[in-house]
Amino acid sequence: MNTKTTVIDPGQLESQFGYCDKIAAFWQSQGRTPTAYVETYGCQQNEADSEKLRGYLAQCGYQIVQEAEGADVVILNTCAIREHAEQRVFGNLGALTHTKRRHPGQKIFLCGCMAGQTVVSDRIKASYPHVDGVFSTHHLWQFPEILWKVLNQKKRQFYIADEPGSIAEGIPQVRDSRLKAWVSIMYGCNNFCTYCIVPYVRGRERSRRPEDILAECRALAESGVKEITLLGQNVNSYGKDLDCGVDFADLLEQIALIPGDFLIRFMTSHPRDASQKLFDTMAKYDKIAKQLHLPFQSGSSRILKAMNRHYDRETYLEKVRYAKQVMPSLVLTSDVIVGFPGETEEEFQETLSLIQQVHYDSLFTFIFSPRPGTPAAKMEDPTPKEEKNRRFDQLCAVQNAISEEIHRSYVGKTLRCLVDGKDKDFLTARTEGGRLVRFRGEEKLIGTYQFITITGATTWSLTGEWSQS
Ligand code: SAH
Ligand code: SF4
Ligand code: F3S
């Protein structure tokens, strides 16, 4: 399903900067610095989009603040992956009526994946009159125009037309961290896993041009960033829409060749497209972290077929076997869904046995949540909720024991870790595989790589001692 990827014309983006100038001039004429708050739900893709929203806001003269109370602009960048995620947003959106009452000039926006669903925009139109603007991910690049219209025309704005999807290069970004950076290499998804809403709200798969990605990574490396995480719903199909002869493994290699002391991570890999070439490339370069997030979703080949995942249990296990063979220190994580419609106890046991066989470092575990408009939401689902909860608890217990066992095996090892922050009396650091380590040390170590000897372990994290060697 290759559609042609289009890049937003630089002239069109220029016109957005024109709106930024007009908004900045407006606030200057008011004689004060306006403030803005962006709240992010969902995955790293949304985190990366929020950095762009903050970039635009900064260019419009806004100061970024950490709470909605009193802010001139509030943006909720939302997630639609499960029902619970949407309920949280509607709850928080409701609460904003009070902040707006206390600060009547406040402008409230809803964007992100929920905004890509007409059921959501219809509900906002009808029942949330305090929301001033709604825009889907396809319209994020037009945010200055939307904000200008809200400020100027005093009219609610809905930018929710379903676009085939394009790419906007050159949106300014205010990054959350000076140490770690997200770099989106592609947007959207073509996979249509039967349970998943993402292809409907983020559109078709489209890849950024390799030269744009490389330029961004080069600039990040030069600015001293220590970790670059490449983002896409299915990074392994990178480049298929571009016909430029660069696949994901090639791109990884080119980024690994950029000079500088930094690590490269990426997510997410779809098991169908994860190739030996990818694993060989990971093994070849020290700069590529030996960490792989490879969601399996279910251990049952029948369920995988019903999910439209295009691989079976055996192919998945074979890929994991190869990856571990070429990268013995690989840290492997995954996503799993419990209680997909029609999942039997036997099929659930297959999921448990796969977990035990692979021995994941950690897992993101989910109970199936029907998403209106997806095929799985219409499938017969006779398993009671209590039974799904029981399976979920059992699965978590199995995984927690494995995580603890793997963490214990770290004790006594000395590892090179990136010191990335503070947590009460401890400094925090990440191993190459992304495991969290707490240790005592001086704050000046934050932002550097240090050797830490692991002295203790729990299911969730490691403790260690700074080793100067
Ligand atoms: N593109 C990634 C996943 C993005 S969504 C991939 O294909 O691996 C993150 C995770 O949310 C998925 O891997 C899946 O485990 C879970 N998920 C997605 N839709 C869901 C649903 N309807 N109910 C429960 N979990 C879901
Ligand atoms: Fe959703 Fe599947 Fe695409 Fe991942 S690959 S975003 S689970 S449709
Ligand atoms: Fe959620 Fe959208 Fe990410 S639905 S998980 S924020 S792509």
Write out the DSSP string of 183-195: EE-EE------TT
Q: Verify whether ligand 1 is closer than 6 Å to residue 371 (CB atom).
A: yes
For the CA of 335, the nearest atom of ligand 2: 7
| 306-355 pLDDT, tens digit each | 999 999 999 999 999 999 999 999 999 999 999 999 999 999 999 999 99
Q: Verify whether ligand 2 is closer than 6 Å to residue 366 (CB atom).
A: no
| 418-456 pLDDT, tens digit each | 999 999 999 999 999 999 999 999 999 999 999 999 999
> What's the pLDDT band for 396 if we cut at 50, 70, 90?
very high
32: nearest Cα among 85, 84, 101, 105:
105
Q: Where are the beta strands (DSSP E) in 286-432?
A: 291-293, 331-338, 362-367, 414-423, 426-430
Query: Model's pTM, two decimal places?
Result: 0.95
Percent share of the chain, pLDDT over 70: 99
Considering every ligand atom, which ligand is closest to the CA of 117?
3
| Cα 359 from chain centre | 24
Distance 233 CA to ligand 1 centre (A): 10
> What's the pLDDT band for 182 if we cut at 50, 70, 90?
very high
Distance 469 CA to ligand 3 centre (A): 42
| Cβ pair 39, 77 in contact under 8 A | yes
Contacts of residue 141, defined as CB under 8 A and 6 or more positions apart, other chains included, come to 8, 13, 16, 168, 171
Pairing of strands 227-231, 263-267: parallel
Tokens describing residue 284 = 């070849």
Distance 268 CA to ligand 2 centre (A): 9
Best probe residue, ligand 1, of 47, 81, 379 (max atoms within 8 Å of C-beta): 81
Tokens describing residue 422 = 């503070």
Q: Verify whether ligand 2 is closer than 6 Å to residue 337 (CB atom).
A: no
Query: Residue range 292-308: average pLDDT?
Result: 98
> What's the pLDDT band for 5 if we cut at 50, 70, 90?
confident
Mean pLDDT of the chain: 95
How many residues make up the chain in this entry? 469
| Cβ pair 418, 179 in contact under 8 A | yes
Ligand 1, atom 8, residue with closest C-alpha: 295
Query: Residue range 34-39: average pLDDT?
Result: 98
Cα separation values, 402 from 35, 62, 75, 396, Å: 46, 47, 40, 10
| Cβ pair 283, 326 in contact under 8 A | yes
Q: How far apart are CA 12 and CA 401, in angstroms?
A: 54
pLDDT at 1: 43
Residue bearing tokens 């005093």: 154
Query: Residue range 154-180: average pLDDT?
Result: 89
**Is 3 a residue whose pLDDT tops 60?**
no
pLDDT at 469: 52
